[in-house]
Structure 1
Amino acid sequence: MELPVAMNGSALEVFHRTPGCITVAVSAWPPLVDVRPVPFTGSHVSIFRLVMERLKWCYYLLPTPDQQWGDKLNGTWTGMVGMLDRKEADLALGPLGVTLLRTEVVDYAAAYMNSDNNFLYKAITKIQPDMFIFTKPFIDQVFDNILI
């Protein structure tokens, strides 16, 4: 089956289900994926459009009804993973984390973005011996509650 293309031979983004076009599940996660306003925006959407332009594929971006990425609840998948599992979508676009449970129903493409979450703290300029240093992160109310 040949995918529909625009008159100029490039990729074609359609705004409703169209036979021959791939359906892509999306869930809002600004600034990576922003589903308001239409047409959708965000860095992941821009990268996806560039890939589709190169492939000259027709595609339809479909927001998830529950705006979830995908969890297994009572044996049923929610969100984008659920849409893939129920064959309501061909691809999912967004910052989906790789989990062992999700690999039961989906495959992952190679990562094009990595994100690390870190804690920040004030730089230590001089270490002074302190027998009670382990108490420093806590405010006095914590100790008051422990003693009560």
Structure 2
Amino acid sequence: LGFKYIIEIQENNTNGSQDPVTKEWNGMIGDIIKKKADLAIGDLTVTSDREKYVDFTLQFMTLGIKILYRKPEPAPPSLFLFVSPFAIGVWILVGVAFLFVS
């Protein structure tokens, strides 16, 4: 087909975000808008802001965002485990109220 292409890596490793003050785009999205590039390939998230300025192909893979964290260690059994739902201040006020009412 006779295509000529240049592969260019973004200098600042930005995919494309809009400056809130100047409303100017940087990264790959900025290059497409400024007509410095005809096509950009990368791991871009399709957002409504980006869709206002560029067209995206269909996604071939959908990955959800996952956050992993370590499960907390279970608390060792205690004789006073029944008082743990409330802070110590609450229990003191309950005791004061009990003494005041009785």
- Partner of 2:40, secondary structure, is strand
Structure showing greater radius of gyration is 2
Query: TM-score with structure 1 length normalisation?
Result: 0.43
What is the RMSD of the two structures over their aligned residues, measured on CA atoms? 2.6
- In structure 2, relative to structure 1, the CA distance for the partners of 1:122 and 1:70 (3 Å cut) is same
Query: TM-score with structure 2 length normalisation?
Result: 0.60
1:1-148 superposed matches below 5 A: 3-4=1-2, 20-21=3-4, 59-73=5-19, 74-120=22-68, 121-122=70-71, 131=85
Any gaps of 5 or more consecutive residues in structure 1?
5-19, 22-58, 133-148
Q: CA deviation at 1:67?
A: 1.9
- Partner of 1:112, secondary structure, is coil
Q: CA deviation at 1:112?
A: 1.3
Any gaps of 5 or more consecutive residues in structure 2?
75-80, 87-102
Residue identity over aligned pairs, in percent, reads 30
Alpha-carbon distance in 2 for matches of 1:71, 1:65: 14
- In structure 2, relative to structure 1, the CA distance for the partners of 1:131 and 1:68 (3 Å cut) is same
Map Cα deviations across residues 24-78 of structure 1 (whole Å, 9 max, x no partner): xxxxxxxxxxxxxxxxxxxxxxxxxxxxxxxxxxx32111233211111112110
Q: CA deviation at 1:119?
A: 2.7
Q: Which has the higher helix share?
A: 2
Partner of 1:145 in structure 2?
none
Map Cα deviations across residues 103-141 of structure 1 (whole Å, 9 max, x no partner): 12101111112222223343999xx98626xxxxxxxxx
Q: Which 4+ stretches in 1 moved above 4 angstroms?
A: none
